[in-house]
């Protein structure tokens, strides 16, 4: 009896977010009717837009194009920035030397590099990949530097005590000690990459989800497609974030997140 | 009778560790701090010695120098006649807190120093020490799921597993509650009697020192010198309400300058 | 944990200057050796910077960009902080709103450009809206997690002293959550700075982002492009440093003991 009651309340609690979404959708449809220009679509219009994209085979094509660029730019940045950042973090003088340069280059919006990207790589995939690379490189490098510097000295001393060689010390102590911090940095950076690719595609290439949005607007004010594109961007961004978060749950990494 | 004993070990025992005229000065931001002042000490093979002194007096610094993490400004530390220059798996340091690797399981931690052994032998050694420190059933557990006392036992097991000659323990039970601390002292003595390692144990707890050690080295505040070395001539297991125990303890209390009243 | 001993005093200046000089030399000689006519050398960039300063273009653009960031970020703080605190205070409300936030958050603020233009037309207000969106979600998320991470001992102690709910919020929860909230605000400000440059490239015709894209489009003045990019970096750095100053204030510093 009590169980049944609890189960019923539980379902009711779980239904609340759905009800909230439903209310928002209703408000949206009402709002659209009152909007004078009739440019913006209602919820059904967006569903229709997604259906249109699927029918023309554009959805998959553009999603793949965007993910392709993000993957390359992100992976290149990871491969270069993390080893470099770990080394720089370990050698104090290297960190002192590079810190001012990093601090100035980091807050430059990756999109400000667009003219330079186009100059070097032309309009196309390479320019977009370069922009994502630039957007990811500096945050990743700073994360790696920080991660090394915040390794508790106890672990390094314990490793040395057991007679590890330098290589073994890196592989068996330093690397596992920085992984939790690195994973958080990777997750945040992947979010930045996803933000940059959309912007880059609006300016520098002619395919991908960012291009879809700007093109749907410019070629005939198809705002149903604009909103469909935005929704898809949101969903994929969410999936990427959830994927990275699931890495944080791996048991041998999890110690790093429960400070006190 | 005098409580003070000579610095050297009795002739019947071979000297394991000798500290010769060790001084330590730290330079930082242009200021120099004098931490240790001409320390001389010998520790015999299989002996259990406690370094006792007020917080921040430099006893941990001395222990770190014995381990090879720090080198003395002047003087030398020798283990089995060899000058200590860097850390060595023959003398394992047990840290005040959180020295176990949080990314490894209990098994992984105990096996950390055993990677050169063949697999079968490694597993057998791990099992042996898991049992010795009473962590059976927790082999696959990560340290964050263990209690403070279990973590400390794990670190001792990790140290013992590589079969060192010496254990250097830096206030290992300082962060534990008083009941767990008592149990851990018993465990440590049991292990010491079974394995007969040389142990240097740093503490600021007078009772702890008198309960555990063969000899208690009393150090002064900074710059630390050895004030006195007290021989604890009571056989284990020690009765902590016996007159001799109380006499030795009160002697140290007086030496440090504390009125023994609350 | 760093590898080597404490650096000496002179090294504090020597290594950064050496690294910067090497970088400039590398830049200078690669421009000379490749014989490029388009990409500027460091000296040309310096001249370009001087030109911008003399014609007062730079000041106007800087002021425009900063004004947009201030308005958009300010609105995000004014709306996002109270909302985040409320959601953190009532976990039930947070459960209801969270799924919607999770979908909206990963949509790149840039992707809202077409929608912003419908709502506000091409101009300042569209850019401010985009900055607002970029900063709003990180701020709300930081406030929610800041409040829900306040140790329950603090709440109990507050109640024990007989505080009413508003007092509890003002005197206990806000100060306790402040370090995390400030960190969220700093990250949001970084995002705002990233978004304003992108928004100015697409949606308005003034500001540093516009300066970058305009210098390229009208006559390939790459010296001005690079000068403007550097300016973006320097201002971003100044904003970040100013915020870090705030975090260092004694009354908020307790929360940062794990940083340093």
Minimal-distance CA residue of chain B relative to A151: B101
Q: Which two tokens stand for residue B23?
A: 């001084």
Contact list in C for residue A97 (CB cut-off 8 A) is 15-16, 18-19
Statement: residue B164 has pLDDT above 60:
yes
d(CA A26, CA C210): 39
d(CA C13, CA B195): 54
What would the pLDDT profile of A26-80 be if each residue is shown by its tens digit?
888 888 877 766 677 888 888 888 888 888 888 889 999 999 999 999 999 999 9
Strand order in the sheet with B74-79: B31-44, B15-28, B74-79, B82-83
Q: Which subunits count as partners of chain B given 3+ CB pairs below 8 Å? A: A
- For chain A, say whether B85 makes contact (Cβ under 8 Å): no
**Helix H or strand E segment including B50:** strand B48-52
- For chain B, say whether A153 makes contact (Cβ under 8 Å): no
Q: Note whether B153 and B109 are within 8 A (CB).
A: no
Out of C96, C109, C117, name the one closest to residue A17 (CB): C96
- For chain B, say whether A139 makes contact (Cβ under 8 Å): no
Contact list in B for residue A253 (CB cut-off 8 A) is 103
Q: Note whether B67 and B232 are within 8 A (CB).
A: no
Q: Note whether A123 and A66 are within 8 A (CB).
A: no
Least-confidence region, from A234-248, B248-262, C22-36: B248-262
Contact list in A for residue B142 (CB cut-off 8 A) is 251-252, 254-255
Out of B67, B103, B143, name the one closest to residue A176 (CB): B103
- For chain B, say whether A154 makes contact (Cβ under 8 Å): yes
The pLDDT of B76-88, averaged and rounded, is 86
**Which portions of chain C are predicted below pLDDT 50?**
256-260
| Separation in Å, CA A42 to CA A29, A34, A49, B38 | 5, 11, 11, 84
Out of B92, B95, B142, name the one closest to residue A255 (CB): B142
Q: Which pLDDT score is estimated for B3? A: 46
Angle at C63 between CA C60 and CA C64, to 5 degrees: 85
d(CA C120, CA C112): 12
- For chain A, say whether B113 makes contact (Cβ under 8 Å): yes
Q: Which of A11, A199, A222, A235 to mutate to test the interface with C (most CBs of C within 10 A)?
A: A199
Closest by alpha carbon to C108, among A200, A58, A179? Answer: A200
CB contact under 8 A, A233 and C108: yes
Q: Which pLDDT score is estimated for A188? A: 85
Contact list in A for residue B102 (CB cut-off 8 A) is 255-256
CB contact under 8 A, A119 and C222: yes
Residues 6+ apart with CB under 8 A from B247: none
Q: Which pLDDT score is estimated for B2? A: 43
CB contact under 8 A, A254 and B101: no
Q: Which pLDDT score is estimated for B4? A: 47
Q: Which two tokens stand for residue A19?
A: 């009800």
CB contact under 8 A, B113 and A152: no
SS3 B51: strand
Could you tell me what percent of chain A has a pLDDT over 90? 14
Closest by alpha carbon to C126, among C172, C167, C72, C75? Answer: C72
d(CA B42, CA B7): 7
Look at strands B166-170 and B91-94 and give their pairing. parallel
Look at strands B15-28 and B31-44 and give their pairing. antiparallel
d(CA B71, CA B81): 17
What's the N-to-C CA distance of chain A in angstroms?
A: 40
What would the pLDDT profile of A165-193 be if each residue is shown by its tens digit?
888 888 888 888 888 888 888 988 898 89
- For chain A, say whether B44 makes contact (Cβ under 8 Å): no
Sign of the Cα pseudo-torsion (B235, B239, B244, B249, in order): positive
Q: Note whether A85 and A142 are within 8 A (CB).
A: yes
Contact list in C for residue A9 (CB cut-off 8 A) is none
d(CA B190, CA B193): 5
What would the pLDDT profile of B134-150 be if each residue is shown by its tens digit?
888 888 888 888 888 88
Contact list in A for residue B162 (CB cut-off 8 A) is 162
DSSP classification of residue C7: P
Q: How high is the mean pLDDT of chain B?
A: 82
The whole-angstrom distance between C66's CA and the closest CA on chain A is 14
A 238-257 residues with CB < 8 A to B: 251-256
What would the pLDDT profile of B1-56 be if each residue is shown by its tens digit?
444 444 555 555 688 888 888 888 887 766 788 888 888 888 888 888 999 888 77
Closest by alpha carbon to B197, among B156, B228, B225? Answer: B156
CB contact under 8 A, A155 and B101: yes
CB contact under 8 A, B98 and A152: yes
Instruction: Scan for tokens 């050895």, then name that residue.
Output: B226
- For chain A, say whether B156 makes contact (Cβ under 8 Å): no
- Report phi then psi at B50, rounded to 5: -105, 135
């Amino acid at each position: 009896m009590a169980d049944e009651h609890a189960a019923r309340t539980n379902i009711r609690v779980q239904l609340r977010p759905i009800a909230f979404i439903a209310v928002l959708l209703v408000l949206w449809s009402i709002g659209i009717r009152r909007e004078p220009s009739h440019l913006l679509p209602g919820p059904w219009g967006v569903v229709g837009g997604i259906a249109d994209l699927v029918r023309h085979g554009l959805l998959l094509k553009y999603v793949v194009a965007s993910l392709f660029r993000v993957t390359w730019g992100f992976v290149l940045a990871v491969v270069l920035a993390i080893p470099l950042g770990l080394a720089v973090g370990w050698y104090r003088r290297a960190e002192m030397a590079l810190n001012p340069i990093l601090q100035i280059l980091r807050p430059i919006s990756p999109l400000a590099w667009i003219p330079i990207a186009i100059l070097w790589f032309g309009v196309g995939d390479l320019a977009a990949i370069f922009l994502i690379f630039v957007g990811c490189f500096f945050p990743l490098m700073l994360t790696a530097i920080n991660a090394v510097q915040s390794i508790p000295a106890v672990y390094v001393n314990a490793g040395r005590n057991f007679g590890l060689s330098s290589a073994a010390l890196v592989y068996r102590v330093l690397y596992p000690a920085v992984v939790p911090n690195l994973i958080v940095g990777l997750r945040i950076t992947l979010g930045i990459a996803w933000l940059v690719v959309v912007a880059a595609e609006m300016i520098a290439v002619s395919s991908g989800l960012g291009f879809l949005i700007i093109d749907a607007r410019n070629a005939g004010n198809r705002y149903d497609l604009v909103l469909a594109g935005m929704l898809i961007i949101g969903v994929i961004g969410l999936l990427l974030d959830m994927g990275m978060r699931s890495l944080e749950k791996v048991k041998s990494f999890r110690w790093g997140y429960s400070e006190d | 009778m005098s409580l003070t004993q000579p610095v050297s070990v009795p002739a019947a025992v071979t000297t394991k560790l000798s500290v010769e005229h060790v001084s330590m000065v730290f330079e930082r931001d242009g200021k120099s701090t004098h931490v240790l002042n001409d320390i001389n000490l010998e520790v015999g093979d299989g002996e259990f010695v406690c370094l006792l002194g007020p917080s921040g007096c430099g006893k941990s610094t001395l222990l770190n120098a014995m381990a090879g993490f720090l080198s003395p400004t002047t003087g030398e530390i020798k283990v089995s006649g060899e000058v200590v220059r860097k850390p060595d798996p023959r003398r394992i340091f047990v840290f005040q807190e959180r020295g176990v690797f949080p990314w490894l399981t209990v098994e992984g931690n105990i096996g950390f120093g055993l990677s050169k052994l063949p697999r079968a032998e490694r597993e057998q050694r791990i099992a042996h020490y898991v049992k010795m420190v009473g962590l059976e059933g927790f082999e696959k557990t990560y340290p964050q799921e263990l209690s403070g006392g279990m973590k400390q036992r794990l670190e001792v097991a990790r140290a013992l597993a590589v079969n060192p000659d010496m254990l250097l323990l830096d206030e290992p039970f300082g962060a534990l509650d008083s009941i767990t601390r008592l149990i851990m002292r018993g465990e440590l003595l049991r292990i010491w009697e079974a394995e007969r390692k040389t142990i240097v144990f740093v503490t600021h707890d007078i009772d702890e020192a008198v309960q555990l050690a063969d000899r208690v080295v009393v150090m002064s505040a900074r710059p630390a010198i050895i004030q006195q070395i007290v021989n604890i001539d009571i056989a284990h297991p020690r009765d902590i309400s016996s007159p001799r125990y109380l006499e030795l303890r009160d002697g140290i209390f007086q030496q440090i300058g504390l009125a023994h009243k609350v | 944990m760093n590898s080597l001993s404490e650096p000496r005093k002179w090294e504090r200046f020597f290594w950064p200057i050496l690294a910067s000089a090497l970088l400039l030399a590398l830049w200078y000689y690669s421009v000379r050796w490749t014989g490029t006519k388009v990409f500027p050398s460091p000296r040309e960039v310096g001249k370009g910077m001087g030109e911008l300063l003399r014609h007062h273009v730079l000041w106007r653009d800087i002021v425009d960009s900063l004004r947009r960031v201030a308005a958009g970020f300010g609105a995000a703080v004014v709306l996002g902080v109270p909302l985040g605190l409320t959601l953190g205070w009532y976990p039930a409300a947070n459960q209801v709103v969270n799924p919607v936030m999770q979908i909206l958050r990963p949509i790149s603020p840039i992707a809202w450009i077409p929608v912003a233009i419908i709502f506000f037309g091409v101009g300042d207000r569209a850019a401010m809206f985009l900055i607002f969106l970029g900063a709003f979600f990180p701020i709300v998320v930081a406030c929610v997690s800041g409040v829900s991470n306040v140790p329950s001992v603090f709440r109990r102690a507050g109640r024990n002293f007989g505080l009413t709910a508003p007092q509890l919020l003002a005197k206990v929860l806000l100060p306790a959550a402040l370090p995390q909230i400030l960190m969220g605000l700093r990250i949001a400000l970084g995002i705002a700075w990233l978004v304003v440059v992108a928004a100015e490239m697409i949606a308005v015709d003034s500001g540093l982002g516009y300066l970058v894209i305009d210098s390229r489009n009208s006559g390939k003045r790459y010296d001005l492009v690079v000068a403007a990019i550097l300016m973006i970096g320097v201002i971003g750095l100044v904003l970040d440093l100013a915020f870090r100053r705030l975090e260092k204030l004694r009354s908020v510093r307790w929360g940062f003991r794990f940083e340093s």
